[in-house]
Every structure is written in structure tokens, then in C-alpha cells.
């Protein structure tokens, strides 16, 4: 329960975040360092996220399956970039049933290898393609510095894995899923993410092309919020995923993978939250409307509850996720703070005066104080509330977009870039050399976030070395 206030975002953004996650009861620390317990309220949010994504996956022709958590160690050694990228963070099982295992088993950090192994078995002919499979599950990566939702040893996610006959089809799939993530982020989570290509340094281990969606948090740091990869034939060759084409020639498949994790909850918190706590976008909020009945005595209680129950039934019937706070051991003020901490988009108050007037009071979470409050008639309430929820959803996206745009700069030279990325993002011409990218990282801790798919016209000169440049890229400090 929200007994104490959070530190303000301005005072200490990191601590504001940590305490918010705990006080809003989204997650808690586990007994194993770096692991996370997702509490029911956090999981309800994740369920709404998974439902919104899963619907989009199915609409684009994908099906779900489940692959095992344990993977033979030797699988990781088959693709050399992949093993190099993941070796430092593998958790390895050496014993089982009281005996030392002949071959150690890896707790999956991602599933390209095991799925590649199975695809090699299942795919025979061009008629079997494309294979469009997604899996919901968790993976383990032995991270050293952890933070709830953003980076934990074990996290929950989905990983899509697809196999295609041609490079064109596989690339099309990569872009399609990047668009699915973008559509989800913008229209469900109200996160105005930017999509683009990752640089070679930032690419997924084993990928030929990695694309991402990147969000700007309120401390102006970037958060990579979803990735979609094109592997070419790298994994197909490592795992012998082959098919007989229409001319009876044996060909290697072209594969992709794409993933989005519980990290997105961190993005939602850090994009929308305020000093009172979480602010959830209505489309994903586990509770969209909290009804707080207000009364002083039994006579008032009976009248007020009659209206509260009727309103509850009406909103519920209209498909709105609604709850009545019937606790009688805490004050109304406490309830207001508590639901504000949890980010419920709309509070609906019913008091004795509202009963008399046939009205209710509505308070928007995204607009604190008097400005966000309105008094509306009880008649046609479901329609009023639905309208207000979609207004809140739009306002949250608009506000986050304005914040993002106000904090992306176009520095005129390298000196200015250095000061810009201390408190914002830079969008600059870059010659695409790793040397220039690394220099920026060394000097400022900022990394390239992504290179927009749609580039501005013309050419420029690299912000770092001054050589001709064809691409503009976002530089930012990232989580
Ligand atoms: Zn350069």
C-alpha cells in the first residue's frame, strides 16, 4: 500500500523508479540476486500486453508453440557469432538427478539454436515454408547489473522464429514484425517509439540485420523496447535447415527472429509515470476505472453503495475493466493516493451529494488536481467513461511524443553533440564507421540507438570525423 511518498523524478529518477515498482506492487526482488517476482498487478498488466501482441501475431499468420528451457551446450557452439555473444551470460546446468551430466545443458538465453535444430527436422520441401512460429516463455541471461523489469537474470518475453524460402520473404517478415511492435507500442502502450536499423556493433549476435524500436524515457535515456532480426542463412547453415526447392535443388532456408519482453513495462513506467506514481495507458491498464464510494455513516453508505454497484454493473457490461474499492479500514484520501500510485487511468467518486444530484465525479490520472476533474450525470455513464478513456489514451501519446520531439537535437558539431547527449538525444549524420561510434561511446557513454528506415534526403558529413555520411542516426545514453 502507498503509505510513503516516492522521491520525485527530479531528485532521483532511479530511486523513483525502484520504489514505484515496489509500491505499485508490480514486482518484487527474489531471493536469488537479480531475479524478479512479478506480482499479480504487474502480471495482469503483462497479460494485457501479451493479449494485444498475440492478437497481432495471429493476424499476421503466426502460430504459438513451446520449446524446452534446457539446450545442449554444443548447440551454442554451432554459430560462432552467437556463441561469442551469449557465452558470458549463460547459466549452465552441470548436474541432474544427483549425477554429473555428460554434456552440460544451457538454460536458454534465447531459442534460435534449439528451434533451428527442430526446423532442420521438420522442413523438407518448399511446400513446408514459410514456418511462422512464436513462443511465449522466459529466458535466463546472467546479467551483472540488474534492475526490475529492465534487466533481470530471468525475464518473460515472446520470441518469434520464422523460416523462409527466399531472402526477400525473410526480410519482409523482419520489417512486418518491426511494424507490429511499433503499432503495439504506439497504439496500445502510448509509447512513441522510433524504429530503425541497429549498427553493426549493436546488432544481435548472429544476425545480418537487426532492427529495433527505441523509446525515450523521462530522464531522456533510451530504452530498446523490441527487436526484429534477419539472419540470412547463418543459422540455417549452422543447423542444416534445408529444403528442396521447386527445381528439386537443395537450398538453405532464410530465417528471422523477433522478441519483446517484460522490459516494455519499464518503458511504460518511465515514459508515463509522475511523482505520484504510475500512469497506465487505458488500453493496457488492468483496472481502467476505480470506483471510490464516499460516505460518513451507515445511512449514507446504503445510498452511495446502491449507486456505486449500479455504476459498476453498467461499466462492466460495457466491457470496461472496473473495480469498486470497498475497503472500510482506510480513508478516501488513502484510497485516492493508493490508486494514483497504481496508475489507474480514471477514478470515479460517488458521495451522498452525487446521489442527490444524480451525478458522479471523475478524476483523470494523467491530469492531476482540479483540471482533471469533472462532474457528469449518471445517465449514459458507460459512454462518457469510454470516451474519456480514449481521450486519456490519446493525451498520453501526445504528451510523450511532444516530450520526445523536444529532446531530440541536431547538434552542429561534435562539441555540441557531447553536451546534447548528456541530457537528450542527438540525431546526426554518421559515416557508419565503428571507430566513430566507439569514440562517441568513450567520450559520452552515448551509443547509436538506431538508424531510421526512412532517411532524410541527401548527404551530410559525419558529426564525429567530418567525412561524407549517407545516414543519420540517433545517439543517446541507453538503459
Ligand atoms: Zn565518422
Output the CA 200–ligand 1 centroid distance in Å: 14
Cα-to-centroid distance, 467 and ligand 1 (Å): 6
Spell out the per-residue pLDDT of the chain, length 479, in tens: 445 789 999 999 999 999 999 999 999 999 999 999 999 999 999 999 999 999 999 999 999 999 999 999 999 888 888 788 888 899 999 999 999 999 999 999 999 999 999 999 999 999 999 999 999 999 999 998 999 999 999 999 999 999 999 999 999 999 999 999 999 999 999 999 999 999 999 998 889 999 999 999 999 999 999 999 999 999 999 999 999 999 999 999 999 999 999 999 999 999 999 999 999 999 999 999 999 999 999 999 999 999 999 999 999 999 999 999 999 999 999 999 999 999 999 999 999 999 999 999 999 999 999 999 999 999 999 999 999 999 999 999 999 999 999 999 999 999 999 999 999 999 999 999 999 999 999 999 999 999 999 887 888 999 999 999 999 999 999 99
Coil, strand or helix: which one is 62? coil
What's the CA-to-centroid distance between 468 and ligand 1, angstroms?
Answer: 8
**Angle, helices 263-272/381-406, rounded to nearest 10 degrees:** 90
Q: Give the orientation angle of helix 263-272 with respect to helix 13-23, to 10 degrees.
A: 110
Cα-to-centroid distance, 458 and ligand 1 (Å): 17
Ligand 1 midpoint to CA 202 (Å):
17
Helix axis angle, 167-187 to 40-59, nearest 10°: 140
3-state secondary structure of 301: helix
C-alpha of residue 294 to centroid of ligand 1, in Å: 64
**CA 208 / ligand 1 centre spacing (Å):** 22
Distance 74 CA to ligand 1 centre (A): 39
Cα–Cα dist 276/341, whole Å: 6
CA-based nearest residue to 161, from 185, 192, 190, 130: 130
47, containing H or E segment: helix 40-59
Please give the distance, rounded to the nearest whole angstrom, from the Cα atom of residue 417 to the centre of ligand 1: 13
- Beta strands 471-476 and 194-197 are unpaired
CA distance 257 to 170: 10
Ligand 1 midpoint to CA 464 (Å): 5
91: which residues sit within 8 A by CB, 6+ positions away?
A: 106, 107, 109, 140, 142, 153
All cell numbers assigned to 429: 549524420
- My answer on whether omega of the bond before 130 falls inside 30° of 0, hence cis, is yes
The whole-angstrom separation of Cα 266 and Cα 218 is 12
What are the grid coordinates assigned to 66, written together? 513451446
Cα(405) to centroid(ligand 1), Å: 25
CA of 224 to the centre of ligand 1 (A): 24
Amino acid at each position: 500500500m502507498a503509505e510513503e511518498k516516492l522521491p520525485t523524478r527530479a531528485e532521483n529518477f532511479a530511486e523513483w523508479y525502484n520504489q514505484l515498482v515496489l509500491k505499485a506492487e508490480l514486482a518484487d526482488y527474489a531471493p536469488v540476486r537479480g531475479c524478479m517476482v512479478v506480482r499479480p498487478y504487474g502480471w495482469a498488466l503483462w497479460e494485457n500486453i501479451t493479449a494485444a501482441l498475440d492478437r497481432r501475431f495471429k493476424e499476421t499468420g503466426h502460430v504459438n508453440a513451446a520449446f524446452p528451457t534446457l539446450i545442449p551446450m554444443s548447440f551454442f557452439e554451432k554459430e560462432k557469432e552467437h556463441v561469442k555473444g551469449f557465452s558470458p551470460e549463460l547459466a549452465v546446468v552441470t548436474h541432474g538427478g544427483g549425477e554429473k551430466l555428460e554434456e552440460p545443458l544451457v538454460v536458454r538465453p534465447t531459442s534460435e539454436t534449439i528451434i533451428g535444430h527442430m526446423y532442420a527436422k521438420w522442413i523438407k520441401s518448399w511446400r513446408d515454408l514459410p514456418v511462422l512460429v512464436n513462443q511465449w516463455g522466459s529466458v535466463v541471461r546472467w546479467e551483472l547489473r540488474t534492475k526490475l523489469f529492465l534487466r533481470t537474470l530471468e525475464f518473460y518475453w515472446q520470441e518469434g522464429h520464422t523460416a523462409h524460402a527466399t531472402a526477400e520473404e525473410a526480410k519482409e517478415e523482419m520489417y512486418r514484425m518491426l511494424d507490429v511492435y511499433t503499432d503495439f507500442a504506439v497504439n496500445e502502450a502510448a509509447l512513441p517509439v522510433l524504429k530503425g536499423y541497429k549498427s553493426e556493433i549493436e546488432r544481435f549476435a548472429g544476425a545480418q540485420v537487426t532492427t529495433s524500436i527505441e523509446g525515450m524515457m523521462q530522464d531522456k535515456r533510451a530504452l530498446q523496447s523490441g527487436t526484429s532480426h534477419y539472419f540470412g542463412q547463418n543459422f540455417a547453415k549452422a543447423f542444416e535447415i534445408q529444403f528442396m526447392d521447386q527445381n528439386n535443388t537443395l537450398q538453405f532456408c532464410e530465417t528471422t527472429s523477433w522478441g519483446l519482453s517484460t522490459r516494455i513495462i519499464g518503458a511504460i513506467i518511465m515514459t508515463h509515470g509522475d511523482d505520484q506514481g504510475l500512469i497506465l495507458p487505458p488500453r493496457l491498464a488492468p483496472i481502467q476505472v476505480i470506483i471510490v464510494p464516499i460516505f460518513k455513516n451507515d445511512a449514507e453508505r446504503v445510498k452511495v453503495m446502491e449507486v456505486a454497484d449500479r455504476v459498476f454493473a453498467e461499466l462492466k457490461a460495457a466491457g470496461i475493466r472496473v473495480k469498486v474499492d470497498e475497503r472500510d479500514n482506510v480513508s478516501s484520501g488513502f484510497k485516492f493516493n493508493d490508486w494514483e500510485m497504481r496508475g489507474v487511468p480514471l477514478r470515479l467518486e460517488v458521495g451522498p451529494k452525487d446521489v442527490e444530484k444524480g451525478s458522479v465525479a471523475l478524476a483523470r490520472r494523467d491530469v492531476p488536481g482540479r483540471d482533471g476533474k469533472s462532474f457528469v450525470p449518471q445517465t449514459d455513464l458507460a459512454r462518457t467513461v469510454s470516451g474519456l478513456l480514449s481521450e486519456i489514451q490519446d493525451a498520453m501519446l501526445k504528451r510523450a511524443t511532444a516530450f520526445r520531439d523536444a529532446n531530440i537535437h541536431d547538434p552542429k558539431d561534435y562539441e555540441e553533440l557531447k553536451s546534447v547527449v548528456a541530457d537528450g538525444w542527438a540525431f546526426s549524420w554518421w559515416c557508419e564507421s565503428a571507430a566513430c561510434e566507439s569514440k562517441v561511446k568513450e567520450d559520452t557513454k552515448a551509443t547509436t540507438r538506431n538508424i531510421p528506415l526512412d532517411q532524410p534526403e541527401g548527404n551530410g558529413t559525419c558529426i564525429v570525423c567530418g567525412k561524407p555520411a549517407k545516414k543519420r542516426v540517433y545517439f543517446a545514453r541507453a538503459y
